Every structure is written in C-alpha cells, then in structure tokens.
Chains A and B, each alone.
Chain A
Amino acid sequence: EPEVTQTPSHQVTQMGQEVILRCVPISNHLYFYWYRQILGQKVEFLVSFYNNEISEKSEIFDDQFSVERPDGSNFTLKIRSTKLEDSAMYFCASLGSQETQYFGPGTRLLVL
C-alpha cells in the first residue's frame, strides 16, 4: 500500500539555522499539507499546497516558512531561521480519494 514518507525522522539544529524537511507524498495525489504538533499539544495546520501554489496557510506560517515542490515527487517545508518554539513534530499529508488525508510518520525537529 502506498505511503507518505518523510525525511529525516529526527533533526536537531541550532537556533537561527535553516532546516528543510522533506516529504514524498503518495504518487498521483495532488493536494499536500504540512501540520505540526508541539509536544503534548494538538496537531495544527500550517499550509496546504496545490498546483504549485499555496492554497491556504495558517497564522503560524509566517515569512520564516516556505514550501516547495522542487520536482515531481518531493514536497518540502523550509524554515529559514529556526526559533526554539519551532521545536515540534512536523507531519506531511497528501489528499487521496474520498477526501482522506494520509499522513507521513513525521519529522521530529529539535531547536537548541
């Protein structure tokens, strides 16, 4: 069964550094999403992406964040200058049939 994959599984970075989180959505899916989950809290929407454009973004998704689909398979989330409060689990999802979002296993980001 096809799955959404994410790399890396864990990333530790210094405050102020740039990070790129990578996702490979399920092939033939066209809508993609990023969510994050701060430890012990609920899953929060960051951004949705379709046809090489952002469809919707939350207030969390400020100028420090960007998304890109650099090729036919990858979908990336970049944080330009990380802050301590960016530490979270980041989930990628892609939209399949019957309006179901399929989630990847997540990337745990720790900002020191």
Chain B
Amino acid sequence: AQSVTQPDIHITVSEGASLELRCNYSYGATPYLFWYVQSPGQGLQLLLKYFSGDTLVQGIKGFEAEFKRSQSSFNLRKPSVHWSDAAEYFCAVGASFQKLVFGTGTRLLVSP
C-alpha cells in the first residue's frame, strides 16, 4: 500500500538554525515526491518536487530535499530558518496522473 510517514509531529528550531524534516514513503514503483507547505488557514504551496535525475532538488524559499532510494526517504532541509518559515509541512508521494498520498505533516515552530 502507498503510504508516507512523517515521524515528527512538531519541531521547534531557533531562528537561523538549520532544519531537517523527515519523510519516508512506501510505494510500489518509483514515485514522484513532493513537499508542500501550509500556513495557518491557507492552501498548499508546492516547495519542491522530485521525479528523476539528480537526487538533490532545490525548491523555493531556500529549501532543498534529497531523495535516497535505499532508505525510501525524501528529507527536507534548509540551512538557516527564518521566522516566516513557521508552518505545517507535508510530504506527498504520487505517480503519473495519480492521486497524491500525504503524510500527517510536521508543524514547524521557530523560536527567536
């Protein structure tokens, strides 16, 4: 069955510190992988995506993610967090024209 696991429900990071949000997936074939961000009361904004090729992908707002097939992981990273990054982050997996399967999300809190 297709599934996405985000093991951290909440993460608190100091402003300026680095960030890594974990995502593990289970999928029958090579999936397409996505990270979306949701600010309170808002919709889902695409941060970055991986389909094939270079396993390190760059996204908007200074985020990057690395696909590791051997670990079935697609962790999201940012070298220096800003207060405006506080939001909920969702990892999702899908395939060509197929539905997205989302993880339960990680809520990022940024402390001064």
Q: Enumerate chain A interface residues (CB-CB to B < 8 A).
A: 31, 33, 35, 41-45, 48, 50, 55-56, 58, 91, 93, 95, 98-106
Contact = CB atoms under 8 A, between A and B. Distances in A.
Contacts, number: 55
Contacts of A42: 90, 102-105
B31 to A, nearest CB: 10
Give the most central of B44, B49, B98, B102: most A CB within 10 Å. B44
Given A42-B105, A99-B96, A104 B46 contact: no
B36 interface: yes
Nearest to A46: B99
Contact of A105 (B34, B43, B102): B43
Given A98-B49, A99-B51, A43 B96 contact: no
B105 to A, nearest CB: 6
B84 interface: no
Interface in B42-79: 42-46, 49, 51
Contacts of B42: 105-106
B87 interface: no
A80 to B, nearest CB: 23
Contacts of B32: 99
B99 A102 contact: no
A39 to B, nearest CB: 11
B27 to A, nearest CB: 14
Given A41-B104, A42-B102, A98-B51, A103 B96 contact: no
B101 interface: yes
Nearest to B103: A42
Contacts of B105: 42
A104 B43 contact: yes
B90 A91 contact: no
